[in-house]
Amino acid sequence: MTLRPLALSVSLSLATVLAACSPSPSPAGDTAAQLAPAEKAAQLNQLYADYWEGVLKLNPLQATFQGDDRYNDQLPDMGSAEYRKQVHDFTAEWLDKARKIGDAGLAGQDLLSYRIFVEEQQQSLEGEKFPGWMLPVNQMGSTVSYAVMLGSGQVAQPFKTVKDYDNWLARAARIPVLLDTEIANMREGIKAGVVQPRVLMEKVVPQFDALIAAKAEDSQFWGPITLMPADFPAADKERLTVAYRELVEGQLMPAIRKQRDFIANEYLPATRDTVGLDALPDGKAWYAFSAKQMTTTEQTPEQIHAIGLKEVERIHGEMHAVMEQVGFKGSLQDFFTFMQHDKQFEFTSEDALLAHYRGLEAKIEANIPKLFSLTPKAGFEIRPIEAFRAESAAGGEYMQPSEDGSRPGIFYVNTFDLPTRKTWDAEDLFLHEAIPGHHFQLALQQELQGVPAFRRFGGQTAFIEGWGLYAESLGKDLGVYTDPYSYFGRLQGELWRAVRLVVDTGLHSKGWSRQQVLDYMFANSSVSEPDAIAEAERYIAWPGQALAYKTGELKIQELRRRAEQKLGDRFDIREFHAEVLKDGSVPLDVLDGKIERWIEGKGA
């Protein structure tokens, strides 16, 4: 999965572009309709640039994550009614401006940008009817967890100059305001019957407890002081040290403790025993919207559930072939147990695990030219997931690089509960999260020239995660999956995403309980108990997000088969991958159309 700053974005949604890429008429009498296509495209490109400037001002965290330092001292109260109204007005204004220009006469990238822009704004407005603002905290993320990541000095917030340090003092001083607003919003949620499942919020309290420290020096917010550049003037060093101690002990810790106590004492007793989104008011429509948004398709939850069941059955068949290859006697469930518990598949230490992943990087990089002609310029590194959030985090995560190259792409590896991190799971995880998965796709997208910023820094989850899962299928050509157990890891990775189609729709549209989800996972896949619990609770926290992976992968695989069949000996896998990646993330129907045009252009 990706740790994407757009989760914090104000008006960019992970949009569905369902309209066909053909021009639609501009409103009658609109003078923009009389413009030549080149003039219209120029107007729209300026509109997109102005719009993105507005996005960065409205959401300064977006700017920080993409490496734009202009607003690093700012943090608006994103949960407030005033801010939500501001976002609504902003979105409606820019949608109206784009529609007045229209898309008549546009073609290629210009038409693609227009359609994506309009549909994103429409979907953002459509989503406002669902009160996600009443559910600001869960075990997967919160203002507190993002604050720690930013304030640690290890992620996006820079701490290189005295001004950088002062910027964080100003921004962090706003965090108590945001936390108070969230408390008020959760109280509104209690009144409206829109509350989190209890099983999620029980995980949040220990997370907060792990962050609360009596002394600033013992806090994770103290990292910037520990790492303060030696060339800072002595007066600034002294001033900043005093100011950061007051910030941590006098502002941040009391605010975090206040929200923690509210959750433990007031919110937890009001949480629900149900886990599905469909248990909330208008929850069925909310989940259908989420599924549509995340898959960029019109597939219903029922259809997606059926696809998942079919894929689980198919992959089980391939796993039986691996069992025969290694001479394993017993059932598939017995094989799952063997793969989870045999000591030969364990890492001896965290250092050994990280060294193994760094070795994979060198091996895979050496084989990249066989499959790819288009690769990113951005750097890349591997880090362990921070201890405070590791228990609830996925096995691996990727954070894209900053635009200016000052921060590389980061592959975060989970080392929590080390015996459950298996050697056979390493290769497919690296391919998905790192190279040629998320790092290639997201870094290349940011490096695109001649496309609007909202496309370079936005994206559709179905494409992004679909590409990551597709990348797992390339392992044999990239020098890995050389033993049957590692190839089983690849099948397990694919099976896991098929299982997600079943359990996510089961949770949120069929009334499944958390235990039903766990039982299905254990019966149908090789998964450790900690991973199963973390994953099940992730699906509860993020309804629909887990549907994107397999949906996107199935589309890319379908398009590759189509191209291979139509082009025969003229099919070049490097050209195909470049065609898929060269325009950044696009909705799946748009991807289908552009690959079909590429095939036709090669004379198929």
Would you state the structure tokens that stand for residue 161, as one six-digit string? 């100059």
- Asked whether the beta carbons of 381 and 410 are under 8 A apart, the reply is yes
pLDDT band at 393 (very low <50, low <70, confident <90, very high): confident
Residues 174 and 149 in one domain: yes
Residues 377 and 512 in one domain: yes
Tell me the average pLDDT across 367-389: 91
Helix-, strand-, coil-residue percentages of the chain, each rounded to 5? 65, 5, 30
Residues 424 and 525 in one domain: yes
Q: Given this model, what pLDDT does residue 529 score? A: 87
Q: Given this model, what pLDDT does residue 2 score? A: 60
- Alpha carbon distance 564, 558 (integer Å): 10
Whose CA is closest to 553, among 460, 464, 426, 442?
464
Token pair 């199963």: residue: 532
- Alpha carbon distance 394, 528 (integer Å): 12
Q: Given this model, what pLDDT does residue 416 score? A: 87
| Structure confidence by residue, pLDDT tens digits, 352-371 | 999 999 999 999 999 999 99
Tell me the average pLDDT across 172-186: 98
Whether 53 is covered by a domain: the verdict is: yes
DSSP state of 412: E
CA distances from 519 to 156, 339, 526, 529 (A): 39, 18, 12, 11
Boundary residue ending a domain (104, 129, 154): 129
Q: Given this model, what pLDDT does residue 392 score? A: 65
Q: Given this model, what pLDDT does residue 215 score? A: 97
Whether 597 is covered by a domain: the verdict is: no
Residues 439 and 326 in one domain: yes
Whether 587 is covered by a domain: the verdict is: no
| Structure confidence by residue, pLDDT tens digits, 272-303 | 999 999 999 999 999 999 999 999 999 999 99
Q: Given this model, what pLDDT does residue 417 score? A: 86
Q: Given this model, what pLDDT does residue 603 score? A: 78
- The rounded percent of the chain whose pLDDT value lies above 70 is 94
- Over 60: is that where the pLDDT of 7 sits? no
Residues 96 and 148 in one domain: no
Q: Given this model, what pLDDT does residue 20 score? A: 28
- Over 70: is that where the pLDDT of 21 sits? no
User: CB 70: neighbour CB atoms within 10 A?
Assistant: 12
Tell me the average pLDDT across 35-39: 88
- Could you write out the DSSP letters of every residue in 451-495? S-HHHHS---HHHHHHHHHHHHTTTGGGT---SHHHHHHHHHHHH
Boundary residue ending a domain (216, 242, 276): 276
Q: Given this model, what pLDDT does residue 31 score? A: 52
Tell me the average pLDDT across 588-593: 92
- Over 80: is that where the pLDDT of 81 sits? yes
- Over 80: is that where the pLDDT of 129 sits? yes
Residues 166 and 99 in one domain: no
Whether residue 5 is preceded by a cis peptide bond, meaning omega within 30 degrees of 0, is no
Whether 564 is covered by a domain: the verdict is: no
CA distances from 41 to 160, 542, 559 (A): 40, 37, 30
| Structure confidence by residue, pLDDT tens digits, 471-529 | 999 999 999 999 999 999 999 999 999 999 999 999 999 999 999 999 999 999 988 88
Whether 586 is covered by a domain: the verdict is: no
- Provide the domain limits for residue 316: 288-549
pTM for the model stands at 0.85
Tell me the average pLDDT across 542-550: 96
Whose CA is closest to 2, among 441, 534, 533?
441
Whether 295 is covered by a domain: the verdict is: yes
Residues 392 and 500 in one domain: yes
Instruction: Please state, rounded to an integer, the average pLDDT across all residues of the chain.
Output: 91
Q: Given this model, what pLDDT does residue 15 score? A: 26
Boundary residue ending a domain (67, 96, 129): 129
Residues 271 and 332 in one domain: no
Tell me the average pLDDT across 228-256: 98
Residues 383 and 446 in one domain: yes
User: How many domains does the chain fold into?
Assistant: 3
Residues 455 and 330 in one domain: yes
Whether 338 is covered by a domain: the verdict is: yes
- Alpha carbon distance 178, 74 (integer Å): 12
Whether 594 is covered by a domain: the verdict is: no
Residues 120 and 160 in one domain: no
- Over 80: is that where the pLDDT of 19 sits? no
Tell me the average pLDDT across 432-456: 93
- Alpha carbon distance 160, 157 (integer Å): 10
- Asked whether the beta carbons of 364 and 480 are under 8 A apart, the reply is yes
Residues 271 and 318 in one domain: no
Q: Given this model, what pLDDT does residue 6 score? A: 37
- Asked whether the beta carbons of 147 and 175 are under 8 A apart, the reply is yes
